[in-house]
Chains A and B, each alone.
Chain A
Amino acid sequence: MAGTTGNVDTRDPLAPDGAAAGPHGGEEPARRRRFGRPVTWVTVLVFGLFFVNLAGVIGVPLVDSFGSRWFTTWLPEGWTTKWYGEAWDEFALGQVFWATALVSLLVVLLSVAIGVPAAYALARRSFPGKKLVLLLFLLPILAPPMTYGIPLATVLYKFHLAGSFTGVVLANLVPSVPFVVLTMTPFIEQIDPRIEAAARMCGAKTTAIFLRILAPLLVPGILAASVLVLVRTVGMFELTFLTAGPESQTLVVALYYAMFSAGIRTQQSIDAMAVMYMFSMLVLLVIALRFVNPTQLVTRVKEEQTEK
């Protein structure tokens, strides 16, 4: 342990490399190698365990979906791709993929259409009750979908909207609209309002300001928000599960039903379906990462702060 109690750290805390990499950046490599600190051990252990188990969790369905027979051995006895064809037919995945795409695209379009104007108002104006409005936009993101999903689905059933595409889209919009609002508000805040004033002073009317100035500046933010909403909607289980009918199931809900009735299905075709879902999510994730930081999928971590 490098810093036992009372052992004052004598290194210059303001050394340039220390400043760049936080308080530990100034550590001499040799010293670090000899006395690995407990924090480092814990980190390696936690990450190691986590990633090994994650690899297992992801690897098992992947291997199984390509295996012919797999019981007690480390790996299957042989390899095949037939499960994919079977899963496609057995679970009517054509319909499921279509439903997933339709729901996600509608959710993205509508949440952008409702969320971006709201984000603009929140970024540009301070008005009485603004804190309350912000809380209203924060709650659906923080509350787990299962909590508000049950009353929401009850209401949707009451108005005969549940079980249809409309119901699924409406339910998925509840967390998506606030998500767009909370991603776009800081984005719009960093666009200087004086740019709009400057356009006005150049003789531009409101429509011209919107079309020629605001829209081009907002495009990157809207793209990022859309991709994030897309990933979250495709992966959203609870809300879709509570509101979907047989025709409007998305992939993740279909996977759940397949697993739930696992006794009467072949395990491998369920795994094949899981791999297809995993693959679509990974494709979306890769696309998403072209636009945003990985952490933005979860929290609004300011990466720039740590990388500066």
Chain B
Amino acid sequence: MTHFGSLRMEKVSRSFGRFRALRELDLEIEGGEFIALLGPSGCGKSTALNCLAGLLPLTGGAITVDGERIDNVPPERRGFGMVFQNYALFPHLSVHDNVAFGLKMARVPKAERNLRVAQALALVHLAEHARKRPGQLSGGQQQRVAIARAVVLEPRLVLMDEPLSNLDAALRLEMRTEIRRLHQRLGLTTVYVTHDQEEALSLADRLVVLRDGTTQQIGTPEEVYGSPANRYVAGFMGYRNMLDVTVTTGAGAGGDGGRTRVDLADGRLAGTRRDGAPDAGDAVAAVRPEDLDVAAAAGAADSGTDGLDFAVPATVEVVEYHGRELAVQGRLSDGQRVHFRTRTRLAPDDAVELTAPPERVLVFPREEAGAPDPPPRRPAAGETPDPKASEAVAP
């Protein structure tokens, strides 16, 4: 297997006319790593992948493999494999011939070719479908043919462009595991593009979060999930509540690290200050719905917040039943919406007190240079309790 030590992308940029799809991406990929490029559509992640593949020429920057420039090498000579979103199988060739195509191009002798195709198809559990045409296969099977076609050449880098987005939810989970298994077994360096944060977190060794063509954060899943670099990354990582707050330093749980106290809507919370957050004044507190706990329910509202040091009063507006728990939308006294999860029975118009662990309340500066609102997450990912969320409320 041909491995490289490291692949460097230095200030890689790509514009389409005036539109700058990708701005100065710096990334170093170690041999064997699994990297996920994450962001909503239009963030430049697919542009980055196509630049890496050579399907799009760069408008700036350089790509080197072990010190050797490759950004002016045509895609067919880079020795990378690629899996496309819509599979892009050759419709006129059988499954076997699809997988064999690259080997044929590389002039691999027939006997070896057949052996390697058979191995690759066995790897993706498709040995018995070798004679079929792609049109006769299901979506998941087609995707596995595409993966086999990409890995049969044992490329030094595998590029995957949203390979699971055309599959239904159940199949997506199954294929996710499959891709992880293949990566562990073959150890192929992989760059994986997705808009699904769950997919990125569960597959990748490191994540690159992109937005409007600029890199927001590069880090391990734990880093990106636990300590997002900014409001935007936080929003993308499931911090659905972005509450306008006022920072009041010195008070509250102060002392260690970036702990601070924030006031909002007749209440207060203890939080952790992130980069650029002010010592005092207006800021934004990002909290995941599953990190907000209901401290006191109905009746407690009369007594205000006197009973608790750090709590925010809210009124329940909409309650959705989600099986093990309820997803609740409430409103703070100053009109801000707040989302939380609870196992307490609640009904609309109930008054509640909300609390959250200080390390799960992230305080960001209110204004970020030209920052639009965080992108809406896919409803399926946002509304179904993800594993981490259910753990939080499990008995």
Contacts and interface: CB of A to CB of B under 8 A. Distances in A.
Q: Do A and B actually bind?
A: yes
Interface of A: 192, 194-195, 197-205, 208, 212-213, 216-217
Contacts of B159: 201
Interface string B280-321: 000000000000000000000000000000000000000000
Given A197-B55, A198-B82, A200-B76, 4 more contacts: A197-B53, A203-B102, A205-B105, A217-B91
B388 interface: no
12 contacts: A192-B86, A194-B86, A194-B88, A198-B84, A200-B55, A200-B76, A202-B81, A202-B105, A202-B149, A203-B77, A204-B105, A205-B105
B258 interface: no
B75 A198 contact: no
A169 to B, nearest CB: 33
The 9 closest A-B pairs by CB, nearest first: A202-B102, A194-B88, A198-B88, A203-B105, A201-B82, A216-B92, A203-B76, A200-B75, A195-B88
Contact of B76 (A205, A212, A217): A205
A198 B53 contact: no
Contacts of B76: 200-205
Nearest to A219: B92
A204 B82 CA distance: 13
Nearest to A209: B76
Contacts of B75: 197, 200-201
B153 A203 contact: yes
B90 A213 contact: yes
Nearest to A217: B92
A203 B104 CA distance: 9
**A198, A199, A200, A213, most chain B CB atoms within 10 A:** A198
Given A201-B80, A202-B102, A203-B106, A195 B153 contact: no
B101 interface: yes
B88 A202 contact: no
Nearest to A196: B88
Nearest to A191: B91
Contacts of B92: 216-217
**A197, A201, A204, A205, most chain B CB atoms within 10 A:** A201
A208 B90 CA distance: 13
Contacts of A202: 76, 81, 101-102, 105, 149, 153
B106 A199 contact: no
B80 A198 contact: no
A149 B300 CA distance: 91
Contacts of B105: 202-205, 208
A96 to B, nearest CB: 40
A202 to B, nearest CB: 4
Nearest to B91: A217
Given A200-B55, A203-B105, A204-B105, A195 B90 contact: yes
A201 B81 contact: yes
Interface string B103-119: 00110000000000000
Nearest to A208: B105
B149 to A, nearest CB: 7
